[in-house]
Amino acid sequence: METKQLTGSQAVLEACIAEGVDTIFGYPGGAIMPIYDALYDYMDKLKHVLVRHEQGGIHAGQGYARTSGKVGVVFATSGPGATNLVTGLADAMIDSTPLVCITGQVFAHLLGTDAFQETDIINITMPVTKWNYQITDATEIPQILAKAFYLAKTGRPGPVLIDITKNAQFQSFDYEGYTICNHVRSYRPKPIVRKEFIDEAVQLINEAKKPLVIFGQGVILGKAEKEFKAFIEKSGMPAAWTILGLSALPTDHPQNVGMLGMHGNYGPNVLTNDCDVLIAVGMRFDDRVTGRLDKYAKQAKIIHLDIDPSEIDKNILAHVGVWGDCKETLPLLTMGIEQKDRTEWLNVFAGYAKEEYEQCIHEEMHPTAEALSMAEVIHAVNEITKGDAVMVTDVGQHQMVTCRYAKFNQTRSNVTSGGLGTMGFGLPAAIGAKFGAPERTVIAVIGDGGIQMTLQEFGTIMQTGVEVKVMILNNEFLGMVRQWQQLFMDKRYSFVDIASPDYVMLANSYRIAAAKVSKREDLVDAVTKMLAHKGSYVLEVMVGKENNVFPMVPQGCSVSEIRLK
Partner 1 sequence: MENEKQEFTITVYTENQVGLLNRIAIIFSRRKINVESLNTSPSEVPGIHRFTIVVVESREVVLKIVRQIEKQVEVLKAYYNTNDEIVWQELALYKVLSDEITEKVKVERLLREFGARAVAIRKDFIVFETTGHREETNKLMEALAPFGLVEFVRSARVAIIKESAGFHEKLKDFEKSEPGLELVENEYLGQRGNVFTM
Site mask for partner 1 (CB under 8 A), range 132-171, x = bound: x-x----------------x--------------------
Among positions 223-262, residues that touch partner 1 (CB under 8 A) are none
Smallest distance from partner 1 to CB 148, Å? 10
Phi, psi angles (nearest 5°) of residue 128: -120, 20
Residue with Cβ nearer partner 1 (123 or 203): 123
Smallest distance from partner 1 to CB 413, Å? 29
* Residue pair 433/392 in contact by the 8 Å Cβ criterion: yes
- Counting Cα atoms < 13 Å in the Cβ hemisphere of 31 gives 27
Question: Which of these is catalytic: 14, 19, 25, 54?
Answer: 54
Q: Give the β-pairing of 239-241 and 256-259.
A: parallel
Closest CA to 518 of 535, 534, 500, 532: 500
How many Å apart are CA 158 and CA 91, to the nearest integer? 10
Phi, psi angles (nearest 5°) of residue 49: -105, 115
- Residue 550 bears catalytic tag: no
Residue with Cβ nearer partner 1 (332 or 442): 332
Smallest distance from partner 1 to CB 192, Å? 5
Phi, psi angles (nearest 5°) of residue 174: -75, 110
Residue with Cβ nearer partner 1 (134 or 413): 134
Smallest distance from partner 1 to CB 115, Å? 19
The answer for residues whose C-beta is within 8 angstroms of residue 2's C-beta and 6 or more apart is none
382-399 burial, b if ≥16 CB within 10 A, otherwise e?
beebebebbbbbbbbbbb
Site mask for partner 1 (CB under 8 A), range 295-324, x = bound: -------------xxx--xx------x-x-
Among positions 178-207, residues that touch partner 1 (CB under 8 A) are 182-188, 191-196
Among positions 74-133, residues that touch partner 1 (CB under 8 A) are 122-123, 126-127, 130-132
The count of chain residues that interact with partner 1, using the rule CB under 8 A, is 30
Phi, psi angles (nearest 5°) of residue 13: -75, -35
- Residue 358 bears catalytic tag: no
Question: Which of these is catalytic: 70, 147, 153, 166?
Answer: 166
Smallest distance from partner 1 to CB 421, Å? 19
Residue with Cβ nearer partner 1 (293 or 564): 293
Taking CA atoms, 313 is separated from 177, 303, 318, 323, 517, in Å, by 44, 11, 6, 11, 49
Residue with Cβ nearer partner 1 (23 or 134): 134
Residues pairing with 165 in the sheet: 105
Question: Which of these is catalytic: 33, 47, 117, 529?
Answer: 117
Question: Which of these is catalytic: 4, 45, 116, 203?
Answer: 116
Residue 138 DSSP label: G
Among positions 417-436, residues that touch partner 1 (CB under 8 A) are none
Q: Is 562 exposed, middle or buried (0-12, 13-18, 19+ CB in 10 A)?
A: buried
> Containing H/E element for 538?
strand 537-542
* Residue pair 268/237 in contact by the 8 Å Cβ criterion: no
Residue with Cβ nearer partner 1 (219 or 372): 219
Smallest distance from partner 1 to CB 475, Å? 36
* Residue pair 415/66 in contact by the 8 Å Cβ criterion: yes
Smallest distance from partner 1 to CB 358, Å? 43
- Residue 534 bears catalytic tag: no
211 lies in the site for partner 1, by CB under 8 A: no
Taking CA atoms, 214 is separated from 237, 305, 343, 397, in Å, by 10, 10, 18, 23
Smallest distance from partner 1 to CB 190, Å? 8
Residue with Cβ nearer partner 1 (163 or 376): 163
* Residue pair 441/460 in contact by the 8 Å Cβ criterion: no
Vertex 373: Cα angle to 370 and 377 (nearest 5): 120
Smallest distance from partner 1 to CB 112, Å? 13
How many Å apart are CA 364 and CA 371, to the nearest integer? 11
Residue with Cβ nearer partner 1 (189 or 459): 189
- Residue 116 bears catalytic tag: yes
Among positions 328-347, residues that touch partner 1 (CB under 8 A) are 328
- Residue 552 bears catalytic tag: no
- Interface contacts to partner 1, rule CB under 8 A: 122-123, 126-127, 130-132, 134, 151, 182-188, 191-196, 308-310, 313-314, 321, 323, 328
Instruction: Give the residue numbers marked as catalytic.
Output: 54, 116-117, 166, 480
